[in-house]
Every structure is written in C-alpha cells, then in structure tokens.
C-alpha cells in the first residue's frame, strides 16, 4: 500500500508549482474570463509559492504528521492568494487540508476525499459559481478521484487517471461557457489547475520539470492582428475603389499564430476551440466577408470589452479579538450588491475576500464593522486589461532590426547595401513601388522589427499602408530623397531599440538638403521661370529653383543656391544618363567654386534624375 507522507506532499505541491510556473504565460494568455487581464497564471503561482515558502521553513518535515502540515498549507495558501482563480485555488487547498486534518500519512482514499472536500470548499467560496471554469475542472477531477480510489494500484496511476479527467473537462469548458469559445480559449484557471496536476504526475514519474523554451505572450499580437484584418476588411468591403490587395499576409499571419497557440497547448492534450475560427480564416475572401467579420468581432470583443466593475479588491478580514467567527454568508449578503465575481476564502480566524467592484472604499467601510481589515489590495482592471492587450515596448525592442530601403539605380542599391540594408525595394524610374511590393519586402525580411526608408514622398503613403497590413513591427522613417535616407541610415545603431533608432534617424533627416536635376516633360510656367518641354530643371523638394539647356550648368547653379554659410559637405550622385567624365567635370567645378566645402562624388545610377546633389 502506497502512502503520501509529509515530505512527499511537499514535493508534490512543489512540482505542481514548478510546472505551473513554467507554463504560466500559456495560462495568462487564456485569461479572458471573468476579466481579460492576463494574470491567472501569475496569481495561481503566487498562491502555490506562498505554500512552498512556508513548508520550506520546516526542518525535518517528515517528523510532522500530515495533519499538521496541512494546516500550514491551508493558512499559507490563503495568505498568498491573489485574483479570482488564486483565491478559488486557495479555498480548494483549505478544504483539501481540512480533509487531511487528523492524518499521519495519506492513503489514496484519503487523497480522493480531500480532493472532494477541496472542490466543495471551492464552490462554497464563490458567490455565484459559473460552470466551465476552474470550479468545474476541480469538481470533475474530485469526482473521478472518488470513483477510482479503490481501483488504483499506484499513486502515479491515480494521478494519471484524474489528470485525464481534468483535461477532458478542461477541453469541454468552451462548450459550457460561450465567451471562452468566442475568444478561442479554454478556461485559464482550469488550465492552471491541470498544469498543477500534470506537474505532480511528472514528479511521480520522475520526468523533468524543466521547460526548454520560455513561451512568449501571444494574445496581444493575435488580437492586434485581428483588429488590423477587420479594419482592412471593413474598409475594403465598403469602399469599392480602395481595394489594393487581398490581405493574405494578415490572414496567413493569423493562421500561423493560431496554429502555434493550438500546437503548444496540444502538447499537454489541451485543445483550444480554434477550428471554427481557422476555418473562417482559410475560406475568407472579400466577397464573403460576413463570416469573418462576425467571428472576428466576437473574438475581439471578448478580449477588449471593458469589465463593468473596474477594480479588483482583495483584503483579509480578521475576527474581532475574542469575537466569534465571521459568517461567510452574512459577509456575502453585505457585499454582494456592490460588485461581482466575489470569492470568499475562509480560515479559522479570518476570511480572505476577493471581489470586483467600482467602489472599493464603500466595501471596506461596510466590512470594517464586522472585523479588522488588513492586506488590502486594489488593482485597476481597466489598466491591467489595456496593458495585457497592448504590444509592450518589450515586444518592440528586443531582437535584431531589419532595414528596408526603397532605391532606384545600381549605385544607390550598392550604397544602401553596404550600409546594412537587409532588403532593397526597386523603386525603378519613378520611385513608385506598389503597396504589394513593399509588403513583399516586409514579409521577406527575416527580422520581426523593421525600419523602412521610403526615400520619396510618393512612397510614404504606400509605405504606411503596407505597415497597416502586416503583423510585423515596422517603423517608417519618412525620408523624402535617397540622400536623406542615406543620412538617416548612417545614424542607425544596431544596439539601439527600434524606437531609439527611429528617433535618432529622424533627427538626421533634417541635416541634409537634396537638389535634383531632371528634364521637364512639358511646358510650364513656375513662378517667374518659363520652362519649355525638354529644358533641364533643378529642384529642391517640389520647388523648381533653376532651369537651363545644359544639365551641367543647371547642376552647378542649383548647388550654389542650396549652399549656406554652414554647409560643410556636398555630395554629387550622378545618374544613369550622365557620363562619368561629365560627372567628374562637375565635381571639379563645384570644388573650385566652393573651396571651403568638402565635395564627394559617387555613381548613384538613379534613373530619373541626372544628378542628385546633397548639401549638409
């Protein structure tokens, strides 16, 4: 006959804690009910950690009967409990411990009964129990334990069976609680409970409790991508002429992410209700957008809707000295009307209370008549929800940065490449790549964090549109010419975050003034310049500054008009239709004309402009 002694009980809880902690981000990611604030995993861990911390203080734990140890478990779990599932879990442990009250060691029968008592206590602690939550998983697990207690030959077989039942129940939670299904998750607290049991079973089987990969937070990216896709779809279906391309990458990005999420939980045989959602995504096209909009909206709403009660209030209520135990029922009637999601965990001399409310102060005032209030904790759940669902700076800043540049001309492409551009989008003659071409570049680059240099005013808009259609984290540096883009690229520091780089690079844009020499394609009167078709014109921005019949003279004249007292460097980039000899002669002339300014000459090879001349 196998027993669980005090030492083993501690090891089991400790294993449950370690395993849950490894998986706590997965649990956080499922946290949509009752309030999507992404902390279920953390809160449940806090409850278990508090137990482990107390048990670790005991020397020679095996000299202490299980009954004594369980008392410590009961109190410490209550003290460490935070959040809805945390307090429910602590109440479960309280009942569980009561069940072991007078035991020296635990038989499987004792264990089954203790689990049952834990489940009963957990239900009792909640003001209005909801099915499809951790409560359901606890109850079904306890039920299974009672049924198999006599047939189990070993503790590990016992755990194997109750874990199986726990997982089956967890997988049914979306059927019981509709919001879970809409959000595409199973219940987070229930999932945490499953991981605790799974950790215990792994310990019994001697399996490792180490997790190889630390899981990243998934929900925020998922929801943000959904929002983009829905916005796009709405825009595309309502404004006929605005359809640029199928948002394939968004669809694919979402499907990939959904597949990743589904896969990582399926390792533990936990199946998220994502089939319907993935099906809608794969069948989606613009002519049949209704399904996508309704599914997506439901999902986004499940995560984004603000809870009606804003604050999560927790406190401990102690009996007045020498006074009687405070009745849980009386307390409940006093506070119930002032909020929801009330959970009350009771111990011998105090109660731990958790409730969601808009008026925490009022509740504290009400209950302070009944006993002494301590350990008050108030969290703003609106803020927590926002933080949970926003892409944090952390998501933005870590990792390598890819640089995408729009460029025209062989020379320019080489220059940008030599300064570390990861991908060059061919701007061709007119510097007007399509949104699709830009998007292709974004998707092709290996990095998730990307800086995009459009290098032309016309490209800026398409660049921003492309950014709105990708799941990657792209920041646009609004460079209007290639020399501006180059100047900003020089300020790039691979060790800065995306945000810091954007700031530094934008600052360098202003350093450069770019002059452009091209041919007029039609006759035009601009200010006091009468320009004929075929004339060469010198531009700065959209401003025509000079004109003439010879592009060399126009270039020289343009340069002299761009130069100021502070200018220190002139760079000439000659274009496709200019011969090197001519470029060199312009170089010498400019050098001669401005002996105090450094002049450099490069082959840009741009197609549209004979010369690009930057002054800085």
Partner 1 sequence: MQKVAIVTSSGHGLTKALIDEYDIKLFPFPIFIENKSYLDGIDITPDEILKAMYQGKIPKTSAPSPADLINIFKPLIDEGKSIIVILMSAGLSSATLEAARRASEELGGDIEIIDSRQIAGGQEIIALEAARIAKEGKSKSEIVEYVKKIVPRTNSIFGIPDLMYLYHGGRIGRAKALMGSMMKVIPIVAVRDMEGIVSPIGRARNVSQVNEKIVEVIKKDLEKFEANKIKTFIIGHADNEQAALELKEALEKNFDYGDMFILPFGCVATVYPGPKSWGVAYCIE
| Closest to 134 (Cα-Cα) out of 178, 194, 48 | 194
Interaction of residue 282 with partner 1, rule CB under 8 A: no
Interaction of residue 602 with partner 1, rule CB under 8 A: yes
Residue from the set 527, 568, 592, 595 that interacts with partner 1 by CB under 8 A: 568
C-beta separation of 603 from 573 below 8 A = yes
C-beta separation of 169 from 141 below 8 A = yes
| Closest to 197 (Cα-Cα) out of 142, 247, 123 | 142
Give the up-direction half-sphere exposure of residue 443: CA atoms within 13 A in the CB hemisphere.
Answer: 18
Residue 400 C-beta: closest distance to partner 1, Å: 11
Residue 589 C-beta: closest distance to partner 1, Å: 20
According to CB under 8 A, which residues from 2 to 61 bind partner 1? none
Interaction of residue 495 with partner 1, rule CB under 8 A: yes
- The pattern of x and - marking residues 291 through 310 that bind partner 1 according to CB under 8 A reads --------------------
- How many helical (H) and strand (E) elements, i.e. helices and strands, does the chain have? 25, 16
Interaction of residue 400 with partner 1, rule CB under 8 A: no
Grouping H, G, I as helix, E, B as strand and the rest as coil, residue 51 is helix
According to CB under 8 A, which residues from 507 to 526 bind partner 1? 511
Residue 540 C-beta: closest distance to partner 1, Å: 19
Residue 408 C-beta: closest distance to partner 1, Å: 16
Residue from the set 98, 504, 577, 589 that interacts with partner 1 by CB under 8 A: 504
Residue from the set 238, 494, 525, 527 that interacts with partner 1 by CB under 8 A: 494
The number of residues that bind partner 1 (CB under 8 A) is 23
| Closest to 555 (Cα-Cα) out of 514, 597, 613 | 613
- The pattern of x and - marking residues 406 through 435 that bind partner 1 according to CB under 8 A reads -----x--xx-xxxx---------------
User: Quick check: bond before 405 cis, omega within 30?
Assistant: no
Interaction of residue 490 with partner 1, rule CB under 8 A: yes
User: Quick check: bond before 34 cis, omega within 30?
Assistant: yes
Interaction of residue 491 with partner 1, rule CB under 8 A: yes
Q: Considering only 278-286, 309-317, 336-344, 493-501, which stretch makes contact with partner 1 by CB under 8 A?
A: 493-501
User: Tokens standing for 345?
Assistant: 């965990």
C-beta separation of 122 from 92 below 8 A = yes
C-beta separation of 265 from 170 below 8 A = no
User: Tokens standing for 339?
Assistant: 């909020």
Interaction of residue 506 with partner 1, rule CB under 8 A: no
Residue 596 C-beta: closest distance to partner 1, Å: 12
| Closest to 76 (Cα-Cα) out of 4, 159, 10, 7 | 10
Grouping H, G, I as helix, E, B as strand and the rest as coil, residue 296 is helix
Task: Tell me how far apart the alpha carbons of residues 379 and 39 are, in angstroms, rounded to a whole number.
Answer: 12
CA-based torsion, 158, 161, 162, 167: positive or negative: positive
Q: Considering only 253-261, 545-553, 566-574, 584-592, which stretch makes contact with partner 1 by CB under 8 A?
A: 566-574
Residue 491 C-beta: closest distance to partner 1, Å: 5
Interaction of residue 492 with partner 1, rule CB under 8 A: yes
Residue 593 C-beta: closest distance to partner 1, Å: 19
Interaction of residue 606 with partner 1, rule CB under 8 A: no
Task: Tell me how far apart the alpha carbons of residues 57 and 482 are, in angstroms, rounded to a whole number.
Answer: 67
Q: Output 397 or 417, the one with its CB closest to partner 1.
A: 417
Grouping H, G, I as helix, E, B as strand and the rest as coil, residue 540 is strand
C-beta separation of 51 from 15 below 8 A = no
Give every strand in the sheet of 339-346, ordered side by side: 339-346, 350-357, 311-318, 372-380
* Residue 305: how many other CB atoms lie within 10 Å: 13
Interaction of residue 587 with partner 1, rule CB under 8 A: no
Q: Output 415 or 438, the one with its CB closest to partner 1.
A: 415
Residue 503 C-beta: closest distance to partner 1, Å: 11
Q: Considering only 54-62, 150-158, 171-179, 486-494, which stretch makes contact with partner 1 by CB under 8 A?
A: 486-494
* Residue 157: how many other CB atoms lie within 10 Å: 16
Q: Considering only 133-141, 265-273, 379-387, 596-604, which stretch makes contact with partner 1 by CB under 8 A?
A: 596-604
Interaction of residue 595 with partner 1, rule CB under 8 A: no
- Which chain residues interact with partner 1 by CB under 8 A? 411, 414-415, 417-420, 487, 490-495, 504, 511, 568-569, 571, 598, 600, 602, 616
């Amino acid at each position: 006959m196998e027993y669980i002694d005090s030492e083993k009980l501690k090891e089991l809880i400790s294993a449950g804690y370690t395993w849950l902690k490894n998986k706590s981000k997965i649990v956080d990611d499922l946290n949509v009910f009752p309030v999507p604030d992404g902390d279920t995993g953390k809160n449940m861990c806090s409850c278990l950690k508090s137990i482990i911390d107390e048990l670790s203080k005991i020397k020679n734990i095996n000299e202490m009967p299980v009954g004594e140890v369980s008392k410590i478990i009961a109190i410490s779990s209550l003290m460490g409990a935070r959040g809805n599932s945390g307090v429910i879990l602590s109440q479960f442990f309280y009942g569980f411990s009561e069940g072991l009250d007078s035991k020296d060691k635990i038989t499987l029968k004792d264990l089954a009964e203790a689990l049952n008592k834990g489940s009963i206590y957990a239900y009792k602690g909640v003001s209005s129990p909801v099915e499809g939550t951790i409560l359901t998983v606890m109850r079904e697990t306890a039920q299974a334990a009672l049924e198999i207690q006599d047939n189990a030959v070993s503790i590990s077989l016992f755990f194997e069976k109750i874990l199986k039942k726990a997982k089956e129940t967890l997988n049914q939670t979306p059927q019981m609680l509709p919001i879970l299904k809409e959000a595409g998750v199973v219940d987070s607290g229930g999932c945490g409970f499953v991981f605790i049991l799974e950790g215990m079973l792994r310990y019994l089987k001697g399996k490792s409790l180490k997790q190889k990969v630390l899981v990243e937070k998934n929900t925020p990216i998922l929801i943000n991508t959904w929002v983009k896709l829905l916005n796009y779809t709405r825009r595309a279906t309502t404004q006929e002429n605005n359809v640029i391309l199928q948002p394939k990458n968004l669809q694919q990005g979402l499907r990939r992410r959904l597949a990743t999420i589904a896969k990582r939980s399926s390792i533990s045989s936990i199946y998220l209700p994502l089939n319907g959602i993935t099906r809608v995504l794969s069948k989606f096209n613009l002519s049949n957008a209704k399904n996508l909009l309704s599914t997506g909206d439901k999902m986004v709403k499940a995560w984004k809707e603000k809870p009606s009660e804003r604050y999560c209030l927790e406190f401990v209520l102690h009996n007045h000295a020498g006074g009687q135990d405070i009745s849980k029922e009386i307390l409940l009637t006093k506070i119930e009307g002032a909020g929801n999601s009330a959970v009350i965990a009771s111990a011998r001399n105090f109660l731990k209370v958790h409730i969601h409310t808009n008026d925490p102060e009022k509740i504290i005032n009400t209950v302070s008549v009944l006993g002494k209030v301590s350990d008050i904790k108030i969290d703003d759940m609106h803020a927590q929800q926002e933080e949970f669902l926003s892409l944090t700076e952390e998501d933005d800043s870590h990792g390598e940065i890819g640089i995408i540049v729009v460029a025209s001309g062989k020379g320019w492409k080489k220059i940008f490449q030599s300064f570390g551009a990861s991908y060059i989008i061919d701007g061709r003659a007119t510097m007007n790549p399509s949104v699709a071409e830009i998007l292709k570049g974004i998707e092709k680059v290996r990095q998730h964090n990307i800086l995009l240099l459009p290098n032309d005013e016309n490209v800026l808009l398409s660049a921003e549109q492309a950014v709105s259609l990708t799941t990657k984290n792209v920041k646009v540096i609004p460079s209007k010419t290639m020399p501006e883009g180059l100047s900003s690229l020089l300020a790039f520091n691979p060790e800065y975050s995306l945000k810091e780089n954007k700031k530094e690079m934008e600052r360098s844009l202003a350093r450069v003034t770019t002059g452009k020499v091209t041919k007029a394609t039609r006759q035009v009167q601009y200010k006091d310049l009468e320009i004929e078709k075929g004339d060469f014109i010198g531009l700065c921005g959209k401003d025509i500054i000079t004109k003439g019949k010879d592009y060399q003279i126009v270039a020289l004249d343009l340069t002299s008009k761009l130069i100021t007292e502070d200018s220190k460097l002139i760079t000439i980039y000659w274009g496709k239709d200019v011969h090197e000899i001519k470029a060199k002669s312009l170089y010498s002339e400019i050098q001669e004309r401005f002996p105090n300014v450094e002049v450099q000459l490069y082959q840009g090879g741009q197609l549209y402009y004979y010369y690009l001349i930057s002054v800085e």
